């Protein structure tokens, strides 16, 4: 997923664009480029690699100040070369644009235009759009762009400038997200809303099949026939410092440390007097809630694992028929979905295309849909309507951390609220869990104390050369293993498997040896003994053990010296206190191994294609 930044105004355009691109760097980064129009001329430079390299080129080339666009590319068509990097300029030098997405019929357009004598210079699908625009352009950008939108198929956020139109930036969006912002005298567009936060909190999310014109005076919006319409701004209650790394070595570490705060924020206004109340978010009635016979959680990656934890917790309330489904599978299986289904979609960005497609399917089959997302007014929010917005603020690290615990918090509240509406939540359970949740921020903070972190760092140092890890737990301690293993895979590139501790003997036990340590999640509860007897068996195969155990569990030291203690908590809420140690463990292993923690290879923050 690429990053786009556009600016029209009187400030230093290249500085604003480079800074904006850097804020997108966590998304994708095979190559980058920038184009500025000054005095009717397009000045462009591009490079393979990071924004810092682009910034160096920009400095050397002495750009005049004008209005401009920049892009970080995630190549889909054409190799990663400087020549294929965006922006792309038409052969007649009149049009320049950047593109996020894929143009499906690029080859057909290219063949057509080449037959008309137009020479193409790159291997990208994008070039077909810019050459076509120049071909149909007769001085009216809107007319040309509407023609383009009728000619191209695929998904795109296009940001376009015309060399003969001073201080005008155009965007066209279909199936690929882009946001637009304006202060009184300058306009912006970006792929990621957090890139605009230092200028404005009031932004427009472009809809599908929508065009925008951004100039110094304001923004105008049109449909693909060129008809203008009014569009409300959305207010983002994030601030610019939220998107800064501060003194932390990595965004991921900063975001791990933010979790006591983000969990507290998520609880705010949703619990009071030991009661859960989501009526400010959802206007569901008890009758409605009783009518839902099945609950489908649908998500991808970390969000999926948050739902697996939530389902385990909700099962303890006893009355739900719950499925936790991976979004990319949900749409292609014959799962019964209907008006008696409550389908809950969880996506950090709100733009994950697999989740969005699954939501569209559930909606079309009459299911009641709800979305849990960190981005208000994101595509899925707008399409689904009913939403719980996690107030975690912008998450920059590619590996999700604070949005995971915010999702967990929201999911537990939701599970309790649903059970309550259905008349199935025992009062003592409600009180016990709310007390557990409200004490959670302090417990999470205790997990972040220096001594704790140093202990985890030390353990990580001892095991950084391992070939792979097994994460094991039972019952409520199993879902956090899934997320812990995912974190390690994502940022340290080590193979990590999560297994229910009792299941290992049915196959994977064959893999155990001294190079494959086990991370054993053994909270002090009724399954402690059972889990430990599994672990004892695995130790015999030579696997070193790292235990995540409850504070004051002294017995555990008979099995291993590598112990990470977690505060005592309600059994249902163990996923919360397991999250931080496992995130930190993955973080320090990755650091030992010299991995690019905030920008792991092959990964993007939100998978939108
Ligand atoms: N499909 C275009 C390319 O490969 C754009 C990719 C992107 O979204 O960065 O150049």
Ligand 1 centroid, distance to 392 Cα (angstroms) = 30
Catalytic (active-site) positions: 2, 605
Nearest CA to ligand 1 atom 8: 100
Q: Which atom of ligand 1 is nearest to the CA of 124?
A: 10
- Two tokens, residue 471: 């994460």
Q: What does pTM read for this prediction?
A: 0.72
For residue 91, what pLDDT is reported? 97
Per-residue pLDDT band for 543 (boundaries 50, 70, 90) equals very high
CA distance 477 to 602: 29
Neighbours of 333 (CB within 10 A): 7
Q: How far is the CA of 3 from the centre of ligand 1 (A)?
A: 10
User: What integer is the mean pLDDT of 422-445?
Assistant: 96
Q: What percent of the chain shows pLDDT beyond 70?
A: 98
Split at pLDDT 50, 70, 90, the class of 318 is confident
Q: What is the mean pLDDT of residues 414-429?
A: 96
Ligand 1, pocket residues at CB < 6 Å: 2, 73-78, 99-102, 124-126
Sheet holding 3-8, edge to edge: 41-48, 31-38, 67-73, 3-8, 187-190, 179-182, 202-205, 234-235
Query: How sure is the predictor about 538, in pLDDT bands with cuts at 50, 70 and 90?
Result: confident
Domains present along the chain, CATH in parentheses: 3-242 (3.60.20.10), 248-438 (3.40.50.10490), 448-593 (3.40.50.10490)
Query: Given pLDDT bands bounded at 50, 70 and 90, which one contains residue 562?
Result: very high
Give the torsion through C-alpha atoms of 356, 99, 398, 233, to 10 deg. Answer: -60
Q: How far is the CA of 1 from the centre of ligand 1 (A)?
A: 8
Q: What percentage of the chain reaches a pLDDT higher than 90? A: 81
- Residue 171 confidence (pLDDT): 98
Q: What is the CA(378)–ligand 1 centre distance, in A? A: 22
Indicate the average pLDDT of the chain.
Answer: 94
DSSP string computed for 355-383: HHHHHHHHHHTT-EEEEEESSTT-HHHHH
Q: Is the pLDDT of residue 608 over 70?
A: no
Task: Give the mean pLDDT of 186-197.
Answer: 92
Residue 478 has pLDDT above 80, yes or no: yes
Is the Cα torsion angle 245, 247, 253, 259 positive or negative in sign? negative
pLDDT digits (tens, 9 = 90+) for 480-533: 999 999 999 999 999 999 999 999 889 988 999 999 999 999 999 889 999 998
Q: What's 510's DSSP letter?
A: G
346 φ, ψ to 5°?
-120, 120
Ligand 1: nearest atom to the Cα of 84: 10
pLDDT at position 234, please? 82
């Amino acid at each position: 997923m690429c990053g786009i930044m556009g600016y029209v105004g009187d400030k230093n355009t290249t500085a604003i664009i480079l800074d904006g691109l850097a804020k997108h760097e966590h998304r994708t980064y095979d190559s980058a480029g920038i184009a500025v129009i000054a005095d009717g001329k397009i000045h462009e430079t591009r490079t393979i690699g990071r924004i810092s390299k682009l910034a160096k080129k920009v400095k050397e080339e002495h750009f005049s100040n004008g209005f401009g666009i920049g892009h970080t590319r995630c190549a889909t068509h054409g190799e990663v070369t400087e020549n294929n990097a965006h922006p792309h300029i038409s052969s007649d030098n009149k049009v320049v644009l950047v593109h996020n997405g894929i143009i499906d019929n690029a080859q057909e357009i290219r063949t057509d235009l080449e037959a008309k004598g137009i020479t193409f210079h790159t291997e990208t699908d994008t070039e077909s759009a810019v050459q076509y625009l120049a071909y149909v352009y007769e001085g009216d950008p809107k007319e040309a762009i509407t023609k383009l939108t009728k000619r191209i198929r695929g998904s795109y956020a296009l940001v376009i400038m015309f060399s003969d139109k001073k201080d005008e930036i155009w965007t066209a969006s279909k199936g690929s997200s882009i946001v637009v912002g304006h202060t009184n005298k300058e306009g912006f567009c970006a792929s990621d809303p957090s890139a605009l936060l230092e200028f404005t909190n009031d932004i427009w999310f472009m809809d599908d099949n929508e065009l925008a014109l951004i100039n110094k005076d304001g923004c105008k919006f049109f449909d693909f026939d060129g008809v203008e319409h009014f569009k409300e701004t959305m207010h983002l209650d994030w601030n610019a410092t939220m998107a800064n790394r501060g003194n932390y070595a990595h965004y991921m570490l900063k975001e791990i440390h933010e979790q006591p705060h983000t969990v507290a924020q998520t609880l705010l206004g949703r619990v009071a007097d030991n009661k859960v109340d989501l009526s400010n978010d959802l206007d569901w009635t008890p009758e409605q809630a009783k009518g839902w016979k099945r609950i489908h959680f649908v998500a991808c990656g970390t969000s999926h694992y948050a739902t697996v934890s939530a389902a385990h917790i909700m099962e303890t309330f006893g009355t739900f028929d719950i499925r936790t489904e991976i979004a990319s599978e949900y749409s292609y299986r014959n799962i019964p979905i209907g008006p008696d289904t409550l389908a809950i979609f969880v996506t950090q960005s709100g733009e994950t295309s697999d989740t969005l497609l699954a939501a569209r399917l559930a909606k079309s089959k009459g299911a009641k849909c709800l979305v849990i997302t960190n981005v208000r007014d994101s595509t899925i929010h707008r399409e689904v309507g009913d939403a719980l917005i996690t107030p975690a603020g912008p998450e920059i690290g590619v590996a999700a951390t604070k949005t995971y615990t915010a999702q967990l918090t929201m999911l537990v509240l939701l599970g309790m609220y649903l059970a309550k509406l259905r008349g199935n939540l025992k009062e003592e359970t409600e009180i016990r869990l709310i007390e557990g949740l409200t004490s959670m921020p302090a417990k999470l903070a205790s997990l972040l104390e220096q001594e704790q972190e140093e202990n985890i760092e030390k353990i990580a140092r001892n095991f950084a050369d391992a070939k792979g890890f097994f994460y094991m737990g039972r019952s409520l301690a199993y879902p956090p293993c899934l997320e812990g293993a995912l974190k390690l895979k994502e940022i340290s590139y080590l193979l990590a498997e999560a297994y229910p501790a009792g299941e290992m003997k049915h196959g994977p036990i064959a893999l155990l040896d001294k190079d494959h340590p086990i991370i054993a999640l053994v909270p002090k509860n009724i399954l402690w003994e059972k889990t430990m007897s599994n672990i004892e068996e695995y130790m015999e195969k030579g696997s070193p053990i790292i235990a995540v155990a409850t504070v004051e569990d002294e017995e555990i030291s008979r099995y291993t010296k590598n112990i990470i203690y977690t505060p005592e908590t309600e059994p249902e809420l163990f996923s919360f206190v397991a999250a931080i140690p496992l995130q930190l463990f993955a973080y320090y292993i990755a650091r030992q191994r010299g991995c690019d923690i905030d920008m792991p290879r092959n990964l993007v923050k939100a998978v939108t294609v």
